[in-house]
Amino acid sequence: MAHSAETLYNGTKVFISENHRFGTDAMLLSGFCRPRRAERAVDLCSGCGIVALRWHDLGHRGECLSVELDAEGTDLLEQAVAEQPECGHIRPLNRDLNELKADGGYHLVAANPPYFTGGYVSPEAARATARHEGGCTLEQVAAAAARLLRDGGRFAMCNRPEHLARTCCILSAAGLEPKRLVFAKQTPKDAPWLFLLEAQKNRKPGLRFEPDIYMADETGRPSLQLQAIYRQGM
């Protein structure tokens, strides 16, 4: 399998292929929901493992399960872990999340799920799986996270703003109460293109809106805020 490597801020390598790359949304998600150093964490819909590897780059050393349905994505992460022994706490798992056995003991679960429920579907299986709900619906992601998490554990995800109301309803129904919300905008004057949401298992309602994230300032240059998130998370 042809692949190349991207190096994160603190030197961790991420292997990518034509079908399994990562973008700003994964970088923002991994910075938004950093696990504490020794916490047990899970990266669902992991693709090439970018969230798990970014957590490592930011200092996480606890057990980390990285679950991906497409075998090519899992292979990329396995190679990254094999070439970086310090990443040995990350366990790649090629598994349908509906078949994922859970002990209910994880502190943090994150997911960058498929965003689209309709429209054009790529004929390439890997790209279609990554972009469209089919074998991985938001309801299934929420159910898997609820099974994995301990009481009070955190679930974090990102999605398009038009799915926010539906997302909150689905998470609440699964016992994951929305607690933190951040919108990402291209510039301060633009409408948001992404939201980042953190929920907690079996907790009372109470949603906190946090300051927006801007990709660029008014001049079009990358914002200092974005640069800081890329270096050290939120």
CB count within 10 Å of CB 149 equals 26
Q: b or e along 114-140 (b: 16 or more beta carbons within 10 Å of the residue's beta carbon)?
A: bbeeeeeeeeeebebbbbbbeebebeb
What is the pLDDT confidence band of residue 135, given thresholds at 50, 70 and 90?
Answer: low
Residue range 76-109, pLDDT digits in tens? 999 999 999 999 999 999 999 988 887 899 999 9
Query: What is the per-residue pLDDT for 22?
Result: 94
Contacts of residue 45, defined as CB under 8 A and 6 or more positions apart, other chains included, come to 67, 68, 69, 97, 111, 112, 113, 114, 130, 136, 141
Task: Provide the domain limits for residue 180.
Answer: 4-231
* Residue 33: CATH number of its domain: 3.40.50.150
Alpha-carbon Rg for the chain in angstroms: 17
Domain count, the chain: 1
Residue range 16-40, pLDDT digits in tens? 998 899 999 999 999 999 999 999 9
